[in-house]
Amino acid sequence: MRTNQNRSTEMHTMHEALARAQMTARLGEAQQLRRGHQLTMARRLGKKAEQASQQATLALARVI
């Protein structure tokens, strides 16, 4: 009877460890996706800023 209880406890502990490992992996994946998204947004905003700068330069050139 005691051995059965030990096995049950071991199985429970193994399941908890597996769940923790999976959760850690998913959190890592989510962080990587966020970093990728932030990088993409930064590139887009950089391009928009560059285009706005070029348009402002052209507008200034037309005025002069």
Q: Report the share of the chain in percent with pLDDT over 90.
A: 75
pTM exceeds 0.75 for this model: no
Estimate to the nearest angstrom the gap between the alpha carbon of 49 and the chain centroid: 25
Residue 58 has pLDDT above 60, yes or no: yes
pLDDT reading at 1 higher than 70:
no
Report CA 5 to chain centroid distance, whole Å: 41
The one-letter code for the residue type at 43 is: R
Query: Distance (Å, rounded) from C-alpha 10 to C-alpha 42?
Result: 48
Give the helix/strand (H/E) hosting 38.
Answer: helix 2-63
pLDDT at 31 over 80: yes
Predicted pLDDT of residue 64: 80
Q: What is the pLDDT of residue 6?
A: 81
Domain boundaries along the sequence of the chain:
1-64
